Chains A and B, each alone.
Chain A
Amino acid sequence: MAAAEPSIEIPTVRIDPPRGLIGFDLKPLWEYRQLVFFLTWRDLKVRYKQTALGASWALLQPLLATVVFTIFFGRVAHLSSDVAPYMIFSFAGTLPWTYFSNAMTMGSNSLVSAATMITKVYFPRIALPISSVLGCAFDFFCAAFLIIPMMAWFGISPSLRLLTLPFFFLLATATALGVSFLFAALNVRYRDVKYVMPFLTQIWLFATPVVYSASGLHQPWRALYGLNPMVGVINGFRWAIVGSGQAPGLTTVASVATTLVLLVIGAVYLRRVDQSMADVI
């Protein structure tokens, strides 16, 4: 029996055993780009189902953190906030930090929590951590609009610096993706990751100038500190929103470099685990 319809293009797939550290192939991800969209949409839809406040949680999370930090670190501990009022200084830090820590946590869990899907259906596994991070990015966008009333309240006039925000957002996204790829893949084999994540998030928070200011540091320590990519992100956000601290420079370069390394390591490791994932998860 011959194939009935004259199909224009019938794809041919070759299935081979996994070989060493192979390069990262973006083609399957591109073919499944709609799945990434649907998974993101599912995550968002499910996340706020059966919650009384629904999507307002996206705004409340960074806002409440800001209020708490302002009371304890700004008022009680009198931490320096450079020139800006502590509240907006703190918000410029908690906004990207909330995004990053949520994205990292959800991304790292994305593969394990989709175990039944992974053992039953083929799709590029990397779609899962990507859509987890994108779901958090959506929350970030909602919360980011709070910048406008807050700047107005504190009488900070917007400057062209705000136009650099997308770059720092991308830096935070890339870092979250890199960490998510790595830990999601590790999580498949080692469930220890589940216990490591809250601890890692906390340590990372201390190592990042979210509640305090990094302007006390001088070169070359400042650049070294920038090896923590979130330092570059948060300094960038503060500089763009309130103009405090130094303009992006060597610190940012260091952050970008770490992020790229993280992204490559994460993607390659995930790719390596990808092939045997269904047998192990």
Chain B
Amino acid sequence: MASPALAIKTEGLSKRYRLGATTASYATLAESIANFVRRGGRQAKASRVLWALRDVSIEIEPGETVAFIGRNGAGKSTLLKILARITSPTEGYATLHGRVGSLLEVGTGFHGELSGRENVYLNGALLGLTRREIDQRFDEIVAFSEVEEFLDTPVKRYSSGMAVRLAFSVAAHLEPEILLVDEVLAVGDLAFQRKCLGKMSEVASAGRTVIFVSHNMAVIQALCRRGIYLEHGEVQTDGPIQAAVTDYLRALEDKAEALDLSERTDRRGTQEVRLQRIGIRGPDGSGTIASGAPAEFSFELIGMTRGLSCRFIVYDQLGHPVTSVSSAQPAPQDVYEHQDEPHFDCHIDELLLVPGRYRLDVQIHGGGQLQDRVEGAAYFDVVDAIVGGRPISMGESVGHLVLPTRWVGPKSGVG
């Protein structure tokens, strides 16, 4: 008899972070003691308080596949971390019915000096498996990871792809009742990503509960039936995945329109370099971008560090990724010049996108680190145009891509 218990239930779950000098993460002992004395032994009053999560009450049935959706800093990762017991809530509680497996970042706990085989055992133990359980699954894990030949090689000699494959395999064979997954699929090659997705839907169809966090709406919609859209730590939408995704995408667009890019705080990265402004121009310098015509995307930055590179991802209106463009791999036609205010200009000779509305997520890397990442940094419309002498219009196009074509066919009207 199946128990009627919920897989996950949270009640008024809240998480507060104190931001301020007195609780800086690297406070020194002397500072703390001095502060304590100054306050006369009373509890510190933080200069700023941030509610990463506020009054979240959700109920998830066993076997549900749920996506947490939201912008950077909306609280989705915090919620996942609380459910994974990595951090504790400030208020409220959560009950989890079943063993929890988390793939918050695969490969954690891998030690470079140890061999692949040894790391499988260590990582398994870290995820809560017993030695016997790992023994039982060992062959399956290794087969899935495709690194059989290198099992006795230290992991430090692995390529990063191999290490990730092995790590994901261990985690995927946990067989927990509740699986928490955070953006793991951003790594690994395409074939392996597909394999991971397959494994995850297999897990879901076996009646286990899967909670998934990703920025890729296409993957989310393929995998999850229910979506919980979070904003400022609060649940905005909780319902069918389509409704949650739509609400999220609309809010993302509203935000981009309402707020100047330089004022936005929903960013990730070290912030030594920040994206200030984005300009998107058509061939005549105007804001109109036509299908198949030249276009220029410019990114103005503030701050400077060595080795800057710019990457942006274009999404369609459904939140599905269309393409990504990056300056990280140099090409002979690139120009690097002295700039007083750092900026990247991306020139596109022919913007072969189907007419429609598109969104840009921008990432700035520098000094080997992610400096800034803004989701929904800009929106642009591609208008109907003539590509290769042929009219292309929004109504008649399917997909994202326009191909200039030349046809050969039968002549009409001549008997």
Interface set of A (CB-CB < 8 Å, partner B): 1-7, 10-18, 31-32, 34-35, 37-39, 42, 45-46, 49-50, 116-123, 186, 189-192, 275-276, 278-281
Contacts and interface: CB of A to CB of B under 8 A. Distances in A.
Given A2-B207, A10-B177, A38-B121, A121 B87 contact: no
Nearest to B25: A280
Nearest to A193: B29
Contacts of B27: 189-190
Contacts of A192: 28-30
B63 interface: yes
Nearest to A191: B26
13 contacts: A11-B99, A13-B85, A13-B100, A14-B96, A15-B93, A34-B125, A34-B131, A38-B122, A42-B111, A45-B113, A45-B118, A121-B102, A192-B29
- Identify the interface centre among A10, A38, A117, A120: most chain B CB within 10 Å of its CB: A120
Contacts of A279: 17, 87
Given A10-B97, A15-B95, A276 B87 contact: yes
B104 interface: yes
Nearest to A37: B125
Contact of A15 (B5, B96, B113, B125): B96
B81 interface: yes
Given A2-B207, A121-B86, A13 B105 contact: no
Interface string B168-191: 000000000100000000000000
Contacts, number: 141
A37 B134 CA distance: 14
Interface in B78-116: 81-100, 102, 104-105, 108-109, 111, 113-114
Nearest to A192: B29
Contacts of B99: 10-11
Nearest to A31: B128
A3 B207 contact: yes
B319 interface: no
A172 B90 CA distance: 38
A37 B132 CA distance: 14
Given A12-B95, A45-B114, A49-B113, 14 more contacts: A1-B62, A5-B207, A15-B88, A17-B93, A45-B118, A50-B113, A116-B108, A120-B86, A120-B108, A121-B84, A121-B102, A121-B108, A121-B109, A189-B27
B: interface residue count bin: 35 or more
A114 to B, nearest CB: 8
Given A34-B125, A192-B29, A15 B108 contact: no
Contacts of B82: 15
Given A3-B2, A13-B95, A32 B128 contact: yes
B114 A46 contact: yes
Interface of B: 1-3, 5, 17, 25-30, 32, 62-64, 81-100, 102, 104-105, 108-109, 111, 113-114, 118, 121-122, 125-128, 130-131, 177, 206-208
Nearest to A14: B95
A190 B312 CA distance: 39
- Identify the interface centre among A12, A38, A275: most chain B CB within 10 Å of its CB: A38
B311 to A, nearest CB: 24
Contacts of A5: 207
Contact of A121 (B114, B127, B177): B127
A121 B126 contact: yes
Given A3-B177, A12-B97, A121-B108, A278 B86 contact: yes
Given A11-B99, A192-B29, A279-B87, A4 B206 contact: yes
A122 B88 contact: no
Contact of B89 (A6, A15, A117, A123): A15
Given A1-B63, A11-B98, A117 B207 contact: no
A116 B26 CA distance: 16
B62 A117 contact: no
Contacts of A31: 128
B98 to A, nearest CB: 5
B111 A17 contact: no
Nearest to A114: B109
B89 A122 contact: no
- Identify the interface centre among B25, B90, B91: most chain A CB within 10 Å of its CB: B25
B96 A13 contact: yes
B125 A38 contact: yes
B86 A12 contact: no
Given A3-B177, A38-B125, A45-B114, A17 B108 contact: no
Contact of B105 (A10, A32, A39, A120): A120
Given A12-B97, A15-B83, A49-B113, A3 B62 contact: yes
A7 B99 CA distance: 11
Contacts of B208: 3
B94 A46 contact: no
Contacts of A275: 87-88
- Identify the interface centre among A1, A42, A123: most chain B CB within 10 Å of its CB: A1
A14 B83 CA distance: 10
A123 B109 CA distance: 12
Given A13-B85, A275-B88, A121 B104 contact: yes
B62 A2 contact: yes
* A-B complex: 10 closest residue pairs judged by Cβ atoms: A1-B63, A122-B85, A4-B207, A120-B108, A38-B125, A275-B88, A2-B2, A15-B94, A190-B29, A35-B125
Nearest to B78: A279
A94 B159 CA distance: 44
A255 B182 CA distance: 49
A3 B62 CA distance: 6
B230 to A, nearest CB: 18
